[in-house]
Amino acid sequence: MLKKVLIMGAMTTIISIAAACGNSSSEKSSGGKDKTDTLVIADWGGAITEAREDSIFEPFEKEFGVKIQVESPTDYGKYKTMVESGNVTWDVANVGSMWAAQAIKQDMFEPIDYDIVSKDGLFPNMANEYYVGAEMFSTAIAYNTEAFPDGNHPKTWEEFWDIEKFPGVRALSKRPYDTIEAALLADGVKPENLYPLDIDRAFKSLDKLKSRTEIVWWEAGAQPAELLSSGTVAATSAWSGRITAAKKDGAPVDIEYNQALLNSEAWSIPKGSKNKELAMKFINFATRAEPQSAFSESIDYSPINEKAIELLPSDVKERLGQAPEIADKQVRVNEEYWAEHFEEINQRFQEWLLK
């Protein structure tokens, strides 16, 4: 804040005192007054941003004496335009890890300063040179509990494909990411042998499912729970948090974490950020065990910090698929592979859908 110090009878000069709140990111407004340090964060909005408000954003503001301004949703087109033009207004952005892996090649990010951002407790694949994991979620087998009562539901992708034993319409994501992995697991590929993906084999597996039953293709995360609740499909792939939320609300749905496909989202700093040091401090704070644990207790996304998982109550661990006996059965999606091959696989997938 600019302070005008008037020394009567001795000085008439206005002395400007610039307040530096631990870094040099304070900016002057056109009116000549200092602005409170503000960190601009791009996030997805909705329930996930609301969960971050209490668990991460407000505690960070309190600890560092700054203001967080959230812009939502994250817009990849805007991200790219800002960086290319040099007019960067975001300091931190939450992005999908697959997109992040692609964006590295386009020189979109500031490198992460691991002298500021601690790797303590982070899963090894969550600490990338240019981005840090924010949260994890699973694409899992979800099912209608009226169609498959008493635990008699598909527990593997191979059983999901078995319409004779587990009858009913199926639904899958209308994107190759996750769907190709599910098709290969259904065809007997071992999780440790998934990558590089055998695309020909995957499409043969999808052909088999298509010949056995109707497949409904979903595009929005809310659709699987709606399809299951209405009885339109008996089983579907689904984002785990959407199903657990619907189950809490009394919908006849449940989830199977065995062979669930584990994905993540990440914190990134746009190249040219004007508040880089504070952005690093935010990422360090947001990935610590305590904020991560608080976040996962308020919304069904899993921590990217192992120590945060240790802090979660047993029922939350189980709901998130992070109880030890469940977590080990999930399959980590290779986002770097998809960053390299998404365009060619997606083109073939979309052509296959039209057949």
Ordered per-residue pLDDT tens for the chain, 355 residues? 333 333 333 333 333 333 333 333 333 333 433 456 999 999 999 889 999 999 999 999 999 999 999 999 999 999 999 999 999 999 999 999 999 999 999 999 999 999 999 999 999 889 999 999 999 999 999 999 999 999 999 999 999 999 999 999 999 999 999 999 999 999 999 999 999 999 999 999 999 999 999 999 999 999 999 999 999 999 999 999 899 989 999 999 999 999 999 999 999 999 999 999 999 999 999 999 999 999 999 999 999 999 999 999 999 999 999 988 888 899 999 999 999 999 999 999 999 999 8
Would residue 24 count as lying in a domain? no
The domain tally of the chain equals 2
What's 161's domain CATH number?
3.40.190.10
Say yes or no: 185 and 252 in one domain: yes
Would residue 234 count as lying in a domain? yes
What number of other Cβ atoms are within 10 A of residue 99's Cβ? 20
Say yes or no: 63 and 149 in one domain: no
Residue from 114, 113, 156 nearest 260 by CA: 156
The domain containing residue 300 runs over which residues? Answer: 38-136+264-330
Would residue 1 count as lying in a domain? no
Would residue 95 count as lying in a domain? yes
Write down the pTM of the prediction: 0.82
Say yes or no: 205 and 288 in one domain: no
Say yes or no: 290 and 258 in one domain: no
Spell out where 28-152 has E strands: 38-42, 67-71, 92-96, 132-144
Say yes or no: 193 and 240 in one domain: yes
Phi, psi (rounded to 5 degrees) for 105: -70, -20
Say yes or no: 206 and 112 in one domain: no
Say yes or no: 45 and 154 in one domain: no
Please give the Cα distance from 7 to 249 (Å, whole number).
Answer: 66
Would residue 185 count as lying in a domain? yes
**Exposed/middle/buried for 341, CB within 10 Å: 0-12, 13-18, 19+?**
middle
Would residue 276 count as lying in a domain? yes
The residue type found at 41 is I
Would residue 6 count as lying in a domain? no
